[in-house]
């Protein structure tokens, strides 16, 4: 039986004017426009991590997302009815952020103020109540900072974004080379020299190495380039590799440790020679060379022992 003009085909798809098809395409197009607008407005507001945004920015983000979701649904309303409020909600936090930069009072109102929770090793219960924070929550925040004893805390403050930062008492702080008066080598960014089995020449050039050096280091480890998933080199020239096959154990390079041991052995041998010889000139020469090696050890130890 033939269909009359303007009648419906199965699936409620209109032939005349293509009503349902046009509506479907309109929803898709409006959804894409809303998504692009939401992405653009989010970029304009600024790139902060979720833990760094203020409560006001969080509310604005939710509102913009809701507006973007409504745009594809309100087909009868003009598109700008949805985009214009999104633009206004984007402009407001940008404007207010500039005001906050210029005024401490405005910044305190918009972003909130930090509040001290522990001072001089004592918990400030009044401030905990003002932040509506229980003792359990305080202990949870401390554990997140690897602090399990309140007695170890000298100072703790709750930032405006809700995070808690902690300063330990001097006697509870971790031991560092600086506190022990030890010299350590400065660290710089390690460079990726192999990725997915491919040599990265840019990383090698940054450290002053080349492919020949890299292949020599791989030969020492007994590893082929194509078997390396990731390879990194630090500023001291130490190569670290991770293989595709995790069952294969790569030996740890010991060149620096071996050099340190050889220098110590040479120093000990020279001191022993100085003690065993009867020749005064040889004794002085051995002692002088041992002293030179000792100076070399003092200067290179931060680089050889890591």
pLDDT digits (tens, 9 = 90+) for 134-162: 999 999 999 999 999 998 999 999 988 78
Instruction: Tell me: do 268 and 241 sit in the same domain.
Output: no
Instruction: Tell me: do 22 and 103 sit in the same domain.
Output: yes
Q: Tell me the mean pLDDT in the region 272-298.
A: 85
Q: 255: helix, coil or strand?
A: helix
pLDDT value at position 19? 56
Categorize the per-residue pLDDT at 255 as very low, low, confident or very high, splitting at 50, 70 and 90.
low
Domain finish residue from 90, 107, 124? 107
Instruction: Tell me: do 43 and 96 sit in the same domain.
Output: yes
Whether 180 maps to a domain, the answer reads no
Strand 228-233 relative to strand 191-195, pairing? antiparallel
Helix residue ranges, H only, 103-160: 104-111, 125-130, 135-144
Instruction: Tell me: do 90 and 27 sit in the same domain.
Output: yes
Q: DSSP class of residue 53?
A: S
Q: Tell me the mean pLDDT in the region 268-280.
A: 84
Whether 38 maps to a domain, the answer reads yes
pLDDT value at position 6? 42
Whether 26 maps to a domain, the answer reads yes
Q: Tell me the mean pLDDT in the region 4-18.
A: 42
Domain finish residue from 58, 80, 107? 107
pLDDT at 207 over 70: yes
Q: 80: helix, coil or strand?
A: helix
Whether 181 maps to a domain, the answer reads no
Instruction: Tell me: do 72 and 124 sit in the same domain.
Output: no
Whether 268 maps to a domain, the answer reads yes
Compute the distance between CA of residue 192 and CA of residue 202 in angstroms, rounded to an integer: 9
How high does pLDDT run on average in the chain?
A: 81
Instruction: Tell me: do 62 and 93 sit in the same domain.
Output: yes
Categorize the per-residue pLDDT at 33 as very low, low, confident or very high, splitting at 50, 70 and 90.
very high
Q: Tell me the mean pLDDT in the region 278-306.
A: 81
Instruction: Tell me: do 87 and 14 sit in the same domain.
Output: yes
For residue 292, the enclosing domain spans 256-304
Whether 177 maps to a domain, the answer reads no
Instruction: Tell me: do 25 and 103 sit in the same domain.
Output: yes
We report the CATH number of the domain holding residue 231 as 3.30.240.20
Q: Tell me the mean pLDDT in the region 99-107.
A: 84
List b or e across 267-303, with b for residues whose CB sees 16 or more CB atoms inside 10 angstroms. Answer: beebbebbeeeeeeeeeeebeebbeebeeebeeebeb
How many domains in the chain?
A: 4
Which of residues 51 and 135 earns the better pLDDT score?
135
Q: What percent of the residues of the chain are helix, what percent strand, and what percent coil, each to the nearest 5? A: 55, 15, 30
Instruction: Tell me: do 45 and 101 sit in the same domain.
Output: yes
Q: 233: helix, coil or strand?
A: strand
Q: Tell me the mean pLDDT in the region 302-306.
A: 65
Instruction: Tell me: do 21 and 53 sit in the same domain.
Output: yes
Instruction: Tell me: do 98 and 14 sit in the same domain.
Output: yes
Whether 186 maps to a domain, the answer reads no
Instruction: Tell me: do 198 and 159 sit in the same domain.
Output: no
The whole-model pTM stands at: 0.51
Domain finish residue from 172, 202, 217? 172
Whether 2 maps to a domain, the answer reads no
């Amino acid at each position: 039986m033939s269909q009359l003009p303007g009648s419906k085909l199965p699936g409620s798809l209109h032939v005349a004017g293509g009503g349902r098809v046009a509506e479907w395409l309109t929803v898709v197009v409006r959804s894409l426009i809303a998504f692009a607008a939401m992405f653009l407005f989010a970029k304009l507001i600024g790139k902060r991590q979720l833990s760094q945004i203020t409560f006001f920015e969080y509310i604005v983000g939710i509102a913009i997302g809701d507006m973007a979701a409504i745009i594809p649904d309100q087909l009868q309303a003009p598109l700008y009815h949805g985009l214009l409020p999104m633009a206004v909600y984007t402009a407001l936090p940008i404007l207010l952020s500039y005001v906050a930069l210029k005024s401490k009072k405005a910044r305190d109102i918009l972003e909130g103020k930090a509040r001290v929770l522990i001072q001089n090793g004592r918990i400030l219960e009044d401030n905990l109540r003002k932040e509506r924070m229980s003792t359990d929550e305080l202990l949870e925040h401390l554990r997140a900072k690897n602090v399990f004893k309140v007695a170890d805390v000298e100072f703790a403050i709750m930032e405006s974004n809700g995070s808690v930062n902690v300063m330990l008492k001097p006697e509870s702080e971790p031991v560092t080379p600086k506190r022990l008066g030890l010299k350590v080598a400065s660290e710089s960014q390690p460079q990726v020299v192999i990725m997915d089995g491919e040599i990265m020449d840019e990383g090698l050039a940054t450290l002053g190495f080349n492919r020949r050096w890299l292949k020599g280091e791989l030969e020492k480890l007994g590893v082929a380039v194509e078997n390396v998933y990731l390879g990194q080199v630090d500023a001291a020239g130490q190569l670290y590799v991770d293989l595709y096959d995790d069952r294969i154990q790569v030996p740890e390079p010991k060149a620096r440790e071996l050099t340190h041991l050889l220098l110590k052995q040479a120093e000990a041998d020279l001191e022993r020679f100085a003690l065993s010889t009867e020749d005064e000139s040889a004794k002085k020469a051995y002692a002088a060379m041992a002293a030179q090696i000792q100076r070399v050890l003092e200067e290179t130890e931060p680089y050889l022992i890591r």
